[in-house]
Structure 1
């Protein structure tokens, strides 16, 4: 299974403020992101899960949280650490016929999953924003920028890991 991080990131690394995007919605980004993850398992933190509860992404969700709980959503599964989340995602991906699982945040979840990622799909949003959640810095020597695709309001960067540390 391939593990791919998907995030919208401002020029200063901000990805969120008070559980929301700090910029106005970018419909083209939401559409490409939702289409991409629609049939795959997604890994996300509890707060991110709660913020998306009315419109959950992916076919199944693995909620990474130190505290096990009922989520009241049939497609939600709990994982207590990143290794367990990846294991559950691999099992669910295989059962769905998917070769990919996506990491959707928040900031802490992106940081925990960074050493395990095969690829990153980063929607680069122009401008710097105030925020309280950031996409983690990564060693550019370990990654290859395969392509950049311009969209209205953002640029999609596709990164592939070239070496595992």
Structure 2
């Protein structure tokens, strides 16, 4: 099972403020994000799940939550931890799952992810949610694509 973190990250590591993106909308980034995660299950926290209810991403949503175990959405599954989330994704026949936030979920999964796809947003923004710190020596930049308002970077974990 390949685990891929997908996030938009400002220069100062901010990924959110009050449950929203702190920068103006970037349609090209939203489009590539949605296309990327459309073909597999996504792993996300309950708050992120609730914020996306009107337009749920992925083929299934694996929701990590300590407080809620059932969701009135046919494609949503409850997971209690990283191993449980991976087992659910595998039970759905997936060979890849996308970790899509929030901050606590990215942090929890960081030691387990195989790849990161990061939209680097120009500028620093005020925020209350950050992408976790990671050791660049453990990762290799596999691809970098410049767009008008962001740079898309794909990182793969270096061989151990």
Q: CA deviation at 1:68?
A: 3.5
Q: Which structure shows the bigger proportion of residues in helix conformation?
A: 1
Is 1:104 matched up with 2:100? yes
Alignment of 1:39-50 (within 5 A): 39-50=39-50
| 1:6–1:102 CA contact under 8 A, matched in 2 | yes
What are the Cα deviations for residues 72-114 of structure 1, in whole angstroms up to 9, with x where unaligned? 111000001122111111222x1xxx43110000000000000
Work out the CA distance in 2 between the residues paired with 1:109 and 1:32: 21
Corresponding residue of 2:123: 127
- The one of 144, 152, 156 equivalent to 1:160 is 156
Is 1:54 matched up with 2:50? no
Q: CA deviation at 1:69?
A: 2.8
| Structure 2 unmatched ranges of 5 or more | none
Work out the CA distance in 1 between the residues paired with 2:77 and 2:54: 17
| 1:43–1:85 CA contact under 8 A, matched in 2 | yes
| 1:40–1:102 CA contact under 8 A, matched in 2 | yes
| 1:146–1:160 CA contact under 8 A, matched in 2 | yes
The number of residue pairs the alignment matches comes to: 160
What are the Cα deviations for residues 32-60 of structure 1, in whole angstroms up to 9, with x where unaligned? 11011112000000000001110111010
Q: CA deviation at 1:8?
A: 0.1
Task: Note the aligned Cα RMSD (angstroms).
Answer: 1.0
> Where does structure 1 differ by over 6 angstroms across 4 or more consecutive aligned residues?
none
Corresponding residue of 1:27: 27
Q: TM-score, normalised by structure 1?
A: 0.94
Work out the CA distance in 2 between the residues paired with 1:91 and 1:122: 27
